[in-house]
Amino acid sequence: MLKVKPAEGYPPEEGRYVRGNDYSPVAVCVILDTFDFAIPKELNELVMVGVDSGAALSGMLQTENIGIEKIICNIAANPNIRYMVLCGRESAGHLPGEALLALKQNGIDESRRIIGSTALTPFLSNIPVGLVQRFNHQIVTIINLLCKPGETDTTVPGLNPKVIEQAVRACYQEEPTRFMDYTVYDIGAYPEPPIYHKITAKLEQPQAHPEATQPGKAKMGLGLMLHKFLPQTDCQKCGKRTCLAFAIDLAKGKAKLDNCPYLSEPEFAENRRALSKLLEP
Ligand code: SF4
């Protein structure tokens, strides 16, 4: 069976995940349905069960755009990963679980919107279209254990550590194995080399932007670029009505990165570095 070494520097994107066995065929994706600083302990437990059961990566997905882009980058860098187990509760605000399933089923359109997603901003604008297609070919099945928003019963499959463990174990069996409605087994690595793509490596310096010579437009152009790296929750904790309004104030020097509390969280460390790079004088 084909197994390959992941790309040098794998996994390229940082986030709330744990790295396990690089040669495992499965990754676990737990939806994080809160923007509070305290992560519900039952969700942390699912992440740990995923990696302890033998997943290559096990972590959380919070947003329907950059969060999914980071997952795509990390999976394309490891061709051994052929399955995903999607679990946790759907996040009512962002619908990242629905967006991930829609992406696998339908792909993206010309505007890079995930076809069929009803999330607010399901756009994958920071990664090449080819990388999205690679993800959709490499991942053969997403085992969907996603629970409804607000679910509190931890015995339902998507919140039940024992079921997550069974799902992961089924994926690395040598013979076709039934797990709920799925038949899975370790089919070996995707037969193309790993792709190393880091979202922030593609950032243009704002000075290189064609509108940089026109002050008003330059601020707007920079604001739009900054917006891509904000959490995009429009939660208003920074005092602005939307993340875009905050981004434009950042571009004008009227706001600081510290005003957005999420940018101090580990999941957004890479985004914060990208934002700081864009804001360099
Ligand atoms: S920029 Fe403002 S609105 Fe957007 S996530 Fe941060 S605090 Fe919330």
- Pair 216, 228: CB distance under 8 Å: no
* Higher pLDDT among residues 22 and 235, named by residue: 22
What distance in Å separates the CA atoms of residue 80 and residue 18, rounded to the nearest whole number?
A: 16
* Residue 18 pLDDT > 70: yes
How far does the centroid of ligand 1 lie from the alpha carbon of residue 94, in Å?
14
* Residue 244 pLDDT > 90: no
- For residue 261, the 8-state DSSP code is G
At residue 245, the pLDDT reads: 87
- Write the pLDDT tens digit of every residue in 72-99: 999 999 999 999 999 999 998 789 999 9
E strand or H helix at 19: strand 17-19
- For atom 2 of ligand 1, which residue has the closest CA? 238
- Write the pLDDT tens digit of every residue in 172-194: 999 999 999 999 999 999 999 99
Is the CB of 233 inside a 6 Å radius of any atom of ligand 1? yes
* Higher pLDDT among residues 119 and 137, named by residue: 137
- What is the residue type of 126? N
How far does the centroid of ligand 1 lie from the alpha carbon of residue 181, in Å?
40
At residue 243, the pLDDT reads: 86
At residue 156, the pLDDT reads: 96
Domains in the chain, CATH or no CATH each? 17-184 (3.40.50), 203-279 (1.10.15.40)
How far does the centroid of ligand 1 lie from the alpha carbon of residue 62, in Å?
14
Using most ligand atoms within 8 A of CB, pick from 62, 224, 246, 275 the residue to mutate for ligand 1. 246
Average pLDDT on 258-277 reads: 87
- Cα angle, residue 121 at apex, residues 92 and 12 outer, rounded to 5°: 95
- For atom 4 of ligand 1, which residue has the closest CA? 243
Average pLDDT on 47-69 reads: 94
Q: What atom of ligand 1 comes closest to residue 241's alpha carbon?
A: 3
Is the CB of 237 inside a 6 Å radius of any atom of ligand 1? yes
Is the CB of 151 inside a 6 Å radius of any atom of ligand 1? no
- Pair 189, 2: CB distance under 8 Å: yes
How far does the centroid of ligand 1 lie from the alpha carbon of residue 165, in Å?
35
- For atom 8 of ligand 1, which residue has the closest CA? 235
Residue 109 phi, psi (nearest 5)? -95, -170
- Pair 78, 134: CB distance under 8 Å: no
Is the CB of 260 inside a 6 Å radius of any atom of ligand 1? yes
- pTM value surpassing 0.85: no
- What are the residues whose beta carbons fall under 8 Å from the beta carbon of 162, sequence distance 6 or more? none
In DSSP notation, 137-174 reads: HH--EEEE-PBPTT---TTSGGG-HHHHHHHHHHHT-S
